């Protein structure tokens, strides 16, 4: 099968290689000419036989919208566009409508696997009409892990990215739980080998997971994480998960708290904690620490 792939960063570049290893033809385009197979989107489209399939792996929002706008004028009826980035599901509905006017199909694909996907495969959550999804099955099979799992046609347009959004919200909460447990273990005097405690959890416990394995990897590289600053960025998907929960009146206390914890990580001197310290001093005479 032929595929055009736009965006050859850490994810896109590895996806191109994995699809090629499965025997398919991939024509890749990136703004970085050192990794790009062609010089422009026009050239990419010209090198594909109709009906064409073009997979987009660029940042959500303005970048994705710009690529969709260009492809809308370059592709023909019967072609299909796949958005494999981390777009908001409501954008999928918009893009499907815009492309549909020109007779171009649209599929949204939530992709999970990160830098490990080249060797391990990518988990794929796909949304779109059955006819468009089935056409892409050879590519999905090339990208997914070996075995029966790792791929799902989640529903209509938007379902793939919505599912990936919820996946990332769960990921937030799981990482926060590991982080809180690690900090508590580091704090007490009785535990003097926190890294090995984490390692011991990798077998035979109910909290073993790939995230736990990655935590052990990180502790092997920097046992007490002294080289890192306590700052964590959040992707749009964590926020969108909480917003969707509000819209549907679904309680998500753990995921919401994990998102807010990332906000707290950006404060060197938390204004909220200043007020809490002041109040504790006022009602209980508790000591406060001044900056001086």
Residues known to be catalytic: 164
DSSP 96-138: HHHHHTTT-EEEEEEEE-GGGHHHH--EEEEES-HHHHHHTHH
Among residues 147, 252, 168, 240, the alpha carbon closest in space to that of 211 is found at 168
Cα distances (angstroms) measured from residue 286 to each of 193, 274, 275: 34, 13, 13
Facing residues of 101 across strands? none
SS (H, E, C) 154-183: EECCCHHHHHHHHHHHHHHHHHHHHHHHHH
Among residues 96, 100, 154, the alpha carbon closest in space to that of 127 is found at 154
For residue 76, what are its two tokens? 């023909």
d(CA 143, CA 22): 9
């Amino acid at each position: 099968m032929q595929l055009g792939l736009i965006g050859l960063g850490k994810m896109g570049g590895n996806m191109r290689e994995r699809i090629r290893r499965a025997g398919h033809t991939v024509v890749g385009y990136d703004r970085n000419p050192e990794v790009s197979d062609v010089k422009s989107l026009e050239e990419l489209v010209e090198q594909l036989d109709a009906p064409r399939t073009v997979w987009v792996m660029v940042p959500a929002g303005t970048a994705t919208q710009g690529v969709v706008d260009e492809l809308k004028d370059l592709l023909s009826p019967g072609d299909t566009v796949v958005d494999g980035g981390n777009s908001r599901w409501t954008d999928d509905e918009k893009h499907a409508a815009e492309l549909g006017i020109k007779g171009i199909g649209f599929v949204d694909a939530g992709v999970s696997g990160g830098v490990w996907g080249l060797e391990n495969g990518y988990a794929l959550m796909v949304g779109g009409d059955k006819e468009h999804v089935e056409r892409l099955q050879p590519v999905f099979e090339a990208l997914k892990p070996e075995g029966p799992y790792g791929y799902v046609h989640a529903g209509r347009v938007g379902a793939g990215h919505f599912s990936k959004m919820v996946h990332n919200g769960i990921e937030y909460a799981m990482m926060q739980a590991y982080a809180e447990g690690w900090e508590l273990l580091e704090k007490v005097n009785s535990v003097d080998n926190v890294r090995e405690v984490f390692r011991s959890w990798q077998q035979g416990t109910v909290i073993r997971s790939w995230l736990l394995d990655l935590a052990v990897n990180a502790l092997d590289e920097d046992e007490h994480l002294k080289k890192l600053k306590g700052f964590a960025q959040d992707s749009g998907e964590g926020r969108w998960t909480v917003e969707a929960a509000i819209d549907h009146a679904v309680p998500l206390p753990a995921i919401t708290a994990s998102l807010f914890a990332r906000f707290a990580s950006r404060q060197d001197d938390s204004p909220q904690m200043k007020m809490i310290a002041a109040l504790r001093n006022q009602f209980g005479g508790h000591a406060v620490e001044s900056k001086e």
